[in-house]
């Protein structure tokens, strides 16, 4: 039998040194290779703060400009960030210069039509491509992918000719029609439905559920997160669109908000305070929609892919 002897601490080595060294090694082992050091953590937070300033800096500057009074000089070489005489009169003056609430209502109508079309149409198309087996499914999928290659500027002339041929020129319906179903949203919904386990559909099929019942009771509860993403980006795209409404619309009373805001920039003079206030009015609905749908998005992610 072999006897293993351990080395006792020498006279120059304190008895507790070995214990402290062991605890230090244990702490290093517990941290692992992926645990960042203090310097790395500080560097990451500094970079995040820098990116945050770059992203929200222009927004905060516009907000500050919209709150500045008429006596403050916004063209000075060293402008002040905080308003010296904060006021909300600029927001009221925007409504005096342009019918901002009429333009906002027109934008809401266009956004609602686009969101409704994308939610319904992309859901049905995505479920069909992911769950149904039909002849020519791969061809349809290829056509969807091919449409993503073409930029919007290439098809904008043909879209206008189609809208004019349907008699929808100079109407809000003509503005909303091209954005009612986006091919990218169809592919996103197909990916979301494909991530749902096929065993759920098979079990429902055995129980006698038809296609619509499987879509309503199994498919939709598991893709609410993706639906929230589609709602957010569809609303932002429809609300911020400028070129297409400018081409389709001729009647100033039918302008959307982004097109109507151009009248705040006069031919011979421009008030940057009114322009900033109009920008804030156009930006606030995006914040509201994003805040509401973001809650449902994270809720859908937390529920997981399988829902009982």
CATH fold for the domain made of 92-303? MetI-like fold (1.10.3720)
**What pLDDT is recorded for position 24?**
54
CA distance 111 to 172: 10
**What pLDDT is recorded for position 204?**
87
Read off the pLDDT band of 306 (50, 70, 90). Answer: very low
How far the first Cα of the chain sits from its last, in Å, is 61
**Residue 199 pLDDT exceeds 80:** yes
β-partners of residue 265 are 270
Residue 281 tokens, joined? 């009015």
Specify whether the CB–CB gap between 214 and 131 falls below 8 A.
yes
Q: Exposed (0-12), middle (13-18) or buried (19+): which is 121, by Cβ within 10 Å? A: middle
**Measuring CA to CA, how many Å separate 81 from each of 16, 30, 90, 170, 215?**
59, 47, 17, 42, 53
**What pLDDT is recorded for position 266?**
65
**Residue 280 pLDDT exceeds 80:** yes
From the list 261, 269, 277, 285, the residue with the least C-alpha distance to 89 is 277
Q: What is the mean pLDDT of residues 276-285?
A: 89
CA distance 9 to 72: 77
**What pLDDT is recorded for position 303?**
46
**80-120 residue pLDDT tens:** 888 888 888 889 888 888 899 999 999 999 999 999 999 99
Q: Exposed (0-12), middle (13-18) or buried (19+): which is 145, by Cβ within 10 Å? A: exposed
**Residue 249 pLDDT exceeds 90:** yes
CA distance 68 to 247: 34
Specify whether the CB–CB gap between 98 and 255 falls below 8 A.
no
Percent of the chain with pLDDT over 70: 84
CB-side exposure of 141: number of CA atoms within 13 Å? Answer: 18
DSSP string, 139-193: HHHHHHHHHTTS-HHHHHHHHHHHHHHTT-TTSHHHHHSTTSS-HHHHHHHHHHH
**160-178 residue pLDDT tens:** 999 999 999 999 999 999 9
**What pLDDT is recorded for position 123?**
93
Specify whether the CB–CB gap between 201 and 131 falls below 8 A.
yes
CA distance 141 to 254: 37
Task: Indicate the domain borders of the chain.
Answer: 39-87, 92-303
Read off the pLDDT band of 75 (50, 70, 90). Answer: confident
DSSP state of 70: T
Read off the pLDDT band of 148 (50, 70, 90). Answer: confident
């Amino acid at each position: 039998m072999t006897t293993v002897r351990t080395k006792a601490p020498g006279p120059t080595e304190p008895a507790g040194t070995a214990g402290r060294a062991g605890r230090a090694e244990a702490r290093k082992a517990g941290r692992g290779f992926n645990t960042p050091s203090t310097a790395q953590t500080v560097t990451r937070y500094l970079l995040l703060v820098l990116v945050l300033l770059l992203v929200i800096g222009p927004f905060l500057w516009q907000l500050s400009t919209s709150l500045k009074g008429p006596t403050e000089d916004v063209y000075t070489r060293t402008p002040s960030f905080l308003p010296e005489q904060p006021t909300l009169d600029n927001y009221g003056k925007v409504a005096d210069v342009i019918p901002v609430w009429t333009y906002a209502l027109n934008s809401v109508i266009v956004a609602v039509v686009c969101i409704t079309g994308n939610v319904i149409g992309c859901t049905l198309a995505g479920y069909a491509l992911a769950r149904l087996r039909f002849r020519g499914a791969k061809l349809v999928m290829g056509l969807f992918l091919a449409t993503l290659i073409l930029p919007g500027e290439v098809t904008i002339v043909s879209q206008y000719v189609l809208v004019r041929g349907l008699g929808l020129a100079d109407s809000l319906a003509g503005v909303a029609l091209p954005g009612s179903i986006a091919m990218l949203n169809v592919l996103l919904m197909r990916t979301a439905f494909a991530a749902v386990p096929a065993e759920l559909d098979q079990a429902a099929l055995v129980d006698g559920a038809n296609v619509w019942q499987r879509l309503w009771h199994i498919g939709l509860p598991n893709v609410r997160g993706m639906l929230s993403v589609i709602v957010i980006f569809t609303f932002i795209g429809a609300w911020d669109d400028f070129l297409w409404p400018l081409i389709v619309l001729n009647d100033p009373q039918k302008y959307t908000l982004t097109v109507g805001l151009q009248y705040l920039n006069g031919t011979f003079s421009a008030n940057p305070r009114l322009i900033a206030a109009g920008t804030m009015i156009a930006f606030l609905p995006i914040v509201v929609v994003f805040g509401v749908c973001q809650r449902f998005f994270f809720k859908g992610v937390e529920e997981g892919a399988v829902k009982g």
